[in-house]
Amino acid sequence: MSVTSLMIVGVGGQGSLLASKLLGRLLLNEGYDVKVSEVHGMSQRGGSVETYVRFGDKVFSPIIVKGEADFIVSFEKLEAARYASCLKAGGTIVVNTQQIDPMPVITGAAAYPEDILDELTAKGIKVDAINALALAEKAGSSKAVNIVLMGRLSRCFDIPTEKWLAAIEQSVAPKFVEMNKKAFLLGYNS
């Protein structure tokens, strides 16, 4: 009855839906029972967004709560910290080092905690930080941050890279396949 729980968190508009689509495709191909839960609508407009991916022999709840996530993939630093409490003891956060100021920081009502990842590490959390934006731009589009992070995440799984690349082919429009594969491999090899 072992179930693996993975959260994708970030800022609305960063492409978490494609990342979860890719994971769903991959895990279905691998023969797992899979549930993916996403939030559409208002929260997408630049707000904090969270997507849950759970897979195993049999998955019931589509939700991940405090202390349950094996992995968190965060598209942004602050969001990694916001959801860190969802992580299981011994879990890993794969995080893009990009900083996107939320509105209270923009208006001066709050400060952005610049050293937040160091604080998480000091708390004993495994933090795997990469500059996914730079790699995405290298692959050809700043929008590919999501797939770069999937590439980095794939190192934590026992699923061969070819399977991930095949799932990319099944998940994105044909004209973006090559760019996304490149982004994936840049993340994987980073």
Q: Which residue ranges make up the site for another protein (CB under 8 A)?
A: 1, 11-13, 20, 24-25, 28, 33-48, 59-63, 65-68, 78-79, 81-82, 84-89, 100-113, 116, 119-120, 123-125, 133, 142
Beta carbon nearer to another protein, 59 or 186: 59
Distance CA 179, CA 176 (A): 5
Q: What minimum distance in Å lies between the beta carbon of 187 and another protein?
A: 18
85 or 189: CB nearest another protein: 85
Nearer of residues 106 and 169 to another protein, judged by Cβ: 106
Structure tokens at 68: 């349950």
> Least distance to another protein from the beta carbon of 129, Å?
15
Locate 82 and state its tokens: 């916001």
Least Å distance, CB 25 to another protein, is 7
- The minimum distance between CB 37 and another protein, in angstroms, equals 4
